[in-house]
């Protein structure tokens, strides 16, 4: 078998624009047992109305049939049950033609997709952290906050459509969470996050001791701004993890090819246990 089958068990609308899909089945256990360092998953979606046509894994990696590579999308593993029985992924319900969001719109219990691979990196440890992103990064920010110790300090900036999109997140006492509302503007069209990033006052003591980490994931324009802002401020690259999660106007595959925004193809080379031609677990695939 190539890819781990994920079966929809339950759909939960967290907010009007955020849909959580709970997956179950043996594919989840296969994914879970791949190791603890897979914050992101490469999901493979069927052509609407057709059965799931899993791509094959050959000696040289994935052997894509025409159109298959175009149906892979990257998502954050929002949660994994400790007993490896279920896995949740939060889908932003954006409009327009798409692969993943359209699938999530009509998904129902029993539907199947596949997890092909996974990878990625999480925010590094530091006394003070900045986490910033739009709703596509909300699942990753929420998970990062949950992994923080109670004494963590820092700031989280999350851009969403409006107050109805705010989620009740765990936030350590020393971390300030600020929601930024687009108030009717379309996602990817405002400078809300960039303006908030430009205004951040990093704590001088932690800055001097290198105890600041910055994690930003959002639409590509915000990401470009974040990189130049940190460069201007003299940040070391090891203190930052800045990743374009989407690019307004182009789909994920085209974006990945155009900008190497998240080493999509590198992550697809990860070999998960149970997949054909598994010889050894690929390592160091993350960003
Ligand atoms: C590491 C990583 C983790 C991610 N985790 C998540 C996650 O947990 N949840 C999540 O929802 N997304 C997440 N994303 C973003 C997601 O992969 C992209 O939004 C992706 O483009 C969605 O695929 P699609 O098939 O719905 O749209 P595509 O077919 O890729 O794009 C179709 C059109 O929709 C536009 N579009 C794409 N995303 C959005 C959006 N959010 N709002 C408005 N327009 C959009 C595109 O610009 C394009 O014009 C993550 C991305 C990365 C790199």
Give the model's pLDDT for residue 272: 46
* More confident position, 203 or 260: 203
pLDDT tens digits for range 85-123: 899 999 999 999 999 999 999 999 999 999 988 877 788
174 within some domain: yes
pLDDT tens digits for range 228-250: 999 999 999 899 999 999 999 99
Which residue's CA is the nearest one to ligand 1's atom 51? 245
What pTM value is reported for the model? Answer: 0.92
Q: Are both 105 and 135 inside the same structural domain?
A: no
* CB 21, CB 104: distance < 8 Å: yes
Give the model's pLDDT for residue 239: 92
Q: Are both 103 and 142 inside the same structural domain?
A: no
Instruction: Tell me: pLDDT of 22 over 60.
Output: yes
CB 19 less than 6 A from any atom of ligand 1? no
Determine the residue of 94, 117, 131, 218 to mutate for testing ligand 1's pocket, defined as the one with the most ligand atoms within 8 A of the Cβ atom.
94
pLDDT tens digits for range 113-146: 999 888 777 887 899 999 999 999 999 999 999 9
Instruction: Tell me: pLDDT of 52 over 90.
Output: yes
210 within some domain: yes
The candidate with the shortest Cα–Cα distance to 244, out of 133, 167, 98, 154, is 133
Provide the pLDDT confidence category of residue 264 given band limits of 50, 70 and 90.
very low
274 within some domain: no
Q: Are both 9 and 107 inside the same structural domain?
A: yes
Q: Which domain holds residue 94?
A: 4-120+262-268
Which residue's CA is the nearest one to ligand 1's atom 52? 245
The beta-strand segments (E) located in the chain are 4-15, 18-24, 40-44, 56-58, 61-63, 72-76, 79-80, 87-92, 112-119, 128-134, 153-160, 174-181, 212-219, 240-246
- Count up the domains in the chain and report the number: 2
Provide the pLDDT confidence category of residue 262 given band limits of 50, 70 and 90.
very low
Ligand 1 atom closest to the Cα of residue 252 is 30
Give the model's pLDDT for residue 124: 78
**For the chain, what is the mean pLDDT?**
88
Q: Are both 176 and 137 inside the same structural domain?
A: yes
Give the model's pLDDT for residue 58: 81
* CB 282, CB 271: distance < 8 Å: yes
**How far away, in angstroms, is 252 Cα from ligand 1 center?**
7
82 within some domain: yes
Which residue's CA is the nearest one to ligand 1's atom 29? 98
**How far away, in angstroms, is 104 Cα from ligand 1 center?**
12
Ligand 1 atom closest to the Cα of residue 139 is 8
Q: Are both 207 and 97 inside the same structural domain?
A: no
**How far away, in angstroms, is 219 Cα from ligand 1 center?**
9
């Amino acid at each position: 078998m190539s890819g781990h089958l994920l079966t929809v068990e339950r759909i939960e609308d967290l907010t009007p624009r955020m849909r959580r899909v709970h997956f179950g089945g043996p594919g989840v256990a296969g994914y879970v047992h791949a190791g603890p360092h897979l914050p992101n998953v490469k999901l493979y979606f069927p052509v609407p109305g057709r059965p799931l046509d899993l791509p094959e894994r050959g000696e040289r990696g994935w052997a894509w049939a025409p159109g298959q590579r175009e149906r892979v999308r990257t998502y954050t593993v929002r949660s994994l049950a400790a007993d490896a029985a279920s896995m949740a992924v939060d889908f932003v319900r954006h409009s327009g033609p798409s692969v993943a969001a359209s699938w999530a719109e009509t998904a129902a219990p029993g539907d199947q997709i596949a997890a092909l691979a996974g990878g990625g990196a999480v925010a590094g440890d530091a006394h003070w952290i900045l986490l910033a992103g739009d709703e596509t990064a909300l699942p990753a920010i929420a998970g990062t906050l949950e992994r923080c110790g109670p004494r963590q300090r820092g700031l989280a900036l999350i851009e969403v459509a409006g107050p109805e999109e705010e989620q009740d997140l765990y936030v350590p006492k020393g971390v300030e969470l600020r929601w930024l509302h687009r108030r009717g503007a379309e996602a990817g069209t405002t400078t809300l996050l960039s303006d908030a990033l430009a205004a951040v006052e990093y704590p001088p003591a932690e800055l001097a001791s290198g105890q600041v980490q910055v994690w930003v994931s959002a639409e590509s324009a915000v990401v470009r701004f974040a990189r130049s802002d940190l460069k201007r401020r003299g940040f070391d690259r090891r203190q930052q993890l800045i990743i374009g999660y989407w690019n307004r106007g182009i789909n994920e595959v085209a974006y990945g090819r155009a900008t190497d925004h998240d080493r999509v193809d590198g992550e697809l080379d990860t070999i998960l246990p149970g997949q054909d031609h598994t010889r050894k677990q690929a390592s160091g695939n993350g960003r």
